Each structure stands twice: as C-alpha cells, then as structure tokens.
Structure 1
Amino acid sequence: MTENTPDGSENQPAEPLGTPPSEQGAPESKFIRALSAVEIAIGVVLFTLIFIGVMYQVLSRYFPAVGWVGAGELALMSMVALTFITTGYLVGRNGHIVIEVFDGVLAGRKLFVALRIISALIMVVTCLALAYEAYVKIDSEWARASAAIHVPLGLLYVFALIGFLSAAIQSAWKIPYANRPERKLDISEMDG
C-alpha cells in the first residue's frame, strides 16, 4: 500500500515486516552477543589509548619539555592489541578480508553452501592453530618487557589468544547456517 506525502510523491514501504528464516543470517546467541560486546568495549579502550598516544606525540613536538618516549610505544602496542581483539568480531560479521570470486558464480547452488562450510572449517582450524601459538607465546614472552613502558610482551599474546578463540567460535557458529545469507558488518551497531 502506498501513501502520498505532502510534496505529492508516493511513499513505498521499505520491506515486508517478516523476513523468512531461510533468508536471515545465523541468529546470534546470548554468548556471542556478550563476547562481541566485550570485544568492542576492549577495542574502544584500545582505540582511545592509540588516540592518546598519538596526540601526546604531536603535543611533544611543539612542547619538547613534555615529551615521553612511552607515548609512541603505548600507541603501537594498543594498535597491535586492537588488531587481535577485534578478529572474532570481524569474522562473525564478514568484516574481514574475503575472496568472493566464487560467490557470484556459485550463488544459489548447493556447491555454494559446501564452499561456505569448507571455508568456515578452514577458518576454525586456522584460528585454533593461531590461538594455540598465542597461548605458547604468552608464557615465553611474559618475561620480556617493552623498552619504554615496561609492559610484558606476553600481554599482546593474551589479546591474540582471545581474538583467535573468538574467531574460531564465530566461524564454527556459521556452519549450521551456511545456507542462509551471512551477516554483514554494520558500523551503526558499534555506536553503543
């Protein structure tokens, strides 16, 4: 049903209210929503640390007396940790880099579902291997500290462990829903 607006144009309804379950992406469990919320919260803190570190470096260029060598290290380590911690969130919402060569060719075919299942399984195995390596590195790198702010380097691998475990969980969650459209990264949901 259409309505006329005051300027004489017609208003078309945006979409039907009920989208069939077969056209929806994988539903989010409470655990995945909570995991995503934690990752975003940590990511916001790390992004803030990057901003503070970089702004402090800029300030110290104009006022050398307030210079602190740890500002650059803080920004750099926060950037690395941010990269790791948001891995699972991005994998779960297709915000990571994907090769979509076969998507157009195989769309609507059973091979497309098989391709998505195989790629999700590869992601699970790869992320679990990376999580294991991060776990090993936590112990071996904890004794080493950064030069300026003396943060144990093993702490970076804690962020890697969390991010890769989350990515493995998010990828495994996609497998039963491979025949449905995948969720897309929606920047507006990060607004909080």
Structure 2
Amino acid sequence: MKQGLRRVVQVLTGIELAIACLATALIFVLILFQAAQRYLPVPQIVWAGEMSQFGLIWLTFVAAGVLVTRNGHIAIQLIDNVPGALFARVVQTVAMALVAVISAAFTWACWELVHSAGFLTSPALRLPMSWVYAIALIGLVSATVRAVVAAVQIARFGPPPPDHDGLIVEGEAAR
C-alpha cells in the first residue's frame, strides 16, 4: 500500500513537473521570439505575449503542488530549528493546515472561474478562458490534496527530513 501510494505521488509529481517544464520552455521561446521580431523584418505576431503570460500562470499554479510536497514553499526556517520536536511538529502541522485551507479556497474560486468564464475568450488568441483556468485548477487541487496529506503526516510522524521529496512513511521522520 505504501509503495503504491508513493508511486502515485511520484507519477503525479512527474506529470506536474513535465507541464511546468513545457510552460517554462513556452515562455522562453515566445519571449525570445518577441525580442527577435522587434529587430527582424517579419510580421508582428500579437498572440506571443499573451501566450507567454498564460504559460507563466500555468507554471506558477502547476508547480504549487510539487512545492508543497517537497517542502519548497515559503517557510520560516528559524521556527523549524527551535529545539523541541513537539513544537516543530505542531508549528509545521498548523502551517500545512493553513496552506490546505487557503489552497482549498483558491480551488473553489478557480472552479467558479472555470464554470463562469466559458463565454470569455482571450483578446489575441481567442482561447476560451475556462481552458486557461482549468490548468490552474489542476495545480490548486494538487496543492490542496498534498497540503492535507502533509499536515496529517507531519502530525502523525513528525517533520520530514530536509532532503525529503514526497510521502512520509513510518520511520522516515526527521526525529
């Protein structure tokens, strides 16, 4: 069971990182193309800037879940280094619970955007905005689920080791 769950987390992380890499490459290529078309005698492509902005949005939200699992989100290391395993466990559990609640609120708002923005399209590409929001929704759902799992795991097993990158199982806690 634990190995199966670990494998699911690894596969989902791989998919999210692949989408993030594609978004990064998209941003790079489109911004480079925009810079080149200023100096080359080629027709201006209006949608390149718009698509690179969407790529940045997708990169940000899709990577959120991975950052939560890998403990790569914003953290105050000073509190994590305070002596006392119980204090660190409580603080990190509360922090992950807050991340879960905030991610859930953003997920709900994004869900509403996906359903209510079906008639809106982007100015240059005429891309349905619900498609843009749907990719952000995937990342927010991932961040919410991963934060809930992390809060439960930290409360149960303690904080993960600093080089940890996924699911905590018994015997892997830092203390």
- Asked if Structure 1 and Structure 2 have the same fold, meaning a TM-score greater than 0.5 normalized by the shorter chain, the answer is yes
55-64 or 174-183, larger mean C-alpha shift: 174-183
Task: Point out where structure 2 has 5 or more consecutive residues left out of the alignment.
Answer: 166-175
1:98 aligns with 2:75: yes
Q: Which residue of 2 aligns with 1:181?
A: 160
141-150 or 95-104, larger mean C-alpha shift: 95-104
In structure 1, give the amino acid aligned to 2:147. S
Match of 2:57 among 80, 100, 109: 80
Pair 1:85–1:139, CA change in 2 (3 A): same
How far 1:109 moved relative to its partner? 2.8
In structure 1, give the amino acid aligned to 2:42. A
Equivalent pair of 1:95/1:185 in contact (CA under 8 Å): no
Q: Deviations over 1:161-191 (max 9, x none)?
A: 11111112221222343214345488xxxxx
Q: Deviations over 1:77-103 (max 9, x none)?
A: 111111111110111112221223322
1:166 aligns with 2:117: no
Q: Deviations over 1:126-152 (max 9, x none)?
A: 111111111010011221111111111
- Percent of aligned pairs with the same amino acid: 28
Counterpart Cα distance in 1 of 2:164 and 2:35? 32
Q: Which residue of 1 aligns with 2:35?
A: 58
RMSD in angstroms over aligned alpha carbons?
A: 2.1
TM-score by length of 1: 0.75
TM-score by length of 2: 0.82
Counterpart Cα distance in 2 of 1:126 and 1:70? 33
Counterpart Cα distance in 1 of 2:164 and 2:115? 34
Pair 1:169–1:182, CA change in 2 (3 A): farther
Q: Which residue of 1 aligns with 2:121?
A: 145
Q: How does 1:11-50 map to 2 (within 5 A)?
A: 29-50=6-27
Larger Rg: 1
Superposition misfits of 4+ residues, deviation over 3 angstroms: 182-186
Counterpart Cα distance in 1 of 2:45 and 2:11? 37
Counterpart Cα distance in 2 of 1:114 and 1:174? 13
Pair 1:184–1:150, CA change in 2 (3 A): farther
Pair 1:61–1:127, CA change in 2 (3 A): same
Q: Count the aligned residue pairs.
A: 159
Counterpart Cα distance in 2 of 1:148 and 1:96? 33
Pair 1:142–1:101, CA change in 2 (3 A): farther
